């Protein structure tokens, strides 16, 4: 919207702005964009999308894994308990880095990888072989490989210093 106003107001080198016949069209487009909440990415309810808490994220993920892997109730409980603890700890550790004004992206990734690895190690303890294989196929296997590659890359860069 600001672009249209800028073009309209200052008559930049744009072809449409040099023609007086196009000014009403630009004005209408600007008004539509200004007044339409759908075009501004809002649903009109006035509520911004709420970021879920670590506890809510843990419950959602536990439910997702329960359905995906056909987990028993006790396994869902352990998944939820693991995630409740580890997501909160991950958030706290990342928040600590943020408060310390750490700007090194690799440190944030390293912390996240550490906690994701702990979560996977916990899962391996109470998933059976079939569930573990399905879990790895659901994307966790690729995530583990990516973590290993990052770990090797970080180790090489630390050795080169």
Low-confidence ranges of the chain (pLDDT < 50): 1-13, 15-16
84: nearest Cα among 110, 65, 57, 49: 57
Alpha-carbon torsion angle 139, 140, 146, 150, nearest 10: 150
Confirm if 33 and 39 have CB atoms less than 8 A apart.
Answer: yes
CA 113 to chain CA centroid, Å, is 15
> CB-side exposure of 3: number of CA atoms within 13 Å?
5
28 DSSP 8-state letter: H
94: nearest Cα among 76, 77, 114, 69: 114
d(CA 119, CA 143): 12
d(CA 127, CA 69): 9
DSSP 87-128: HHHHHHHHHHHHHTT---HHHHHHHHHHHHHHHHHHHHHHS-
d(CA 39, CA 44): 10
Confirm if 108 and 97 have CB atoms less than 8 A apart.
Answer: yes
């Amino acid at each position: 919207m600001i672009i249209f106003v800028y073009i309209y107001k200052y008559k930049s080198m744009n072809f449409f702005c040099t023609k007086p016949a196009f000014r009403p069209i630009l004005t209408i487009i600007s008004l539509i964009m200004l007044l339409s909440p759908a075009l501004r990415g809002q649903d009109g309810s006035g509520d911004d999308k709420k970021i879920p808490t670590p506890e809510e994220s843990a419950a959602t993920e536990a439910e997702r894994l329960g359905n995906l892997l056909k987990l028993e109730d006790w396994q869902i409980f352990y998944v939820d308990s693991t995630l409740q603890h580890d997501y909160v700890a991950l958030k706290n550790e990342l928040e600590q880095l943020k408060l310390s004004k750490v700007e090194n992206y690799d440190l944030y990734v390293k912390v996240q990888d550490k906690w994701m690895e702990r979560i996977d190690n916990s899962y391996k303890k109470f998933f059976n072989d079939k569930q573990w294989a399905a879990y790895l196929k659901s994307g966790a296997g690729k995530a583990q490989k990516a973590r290993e590659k990052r770990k090797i890359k970080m180790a090489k860069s630390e050795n080169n210093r």
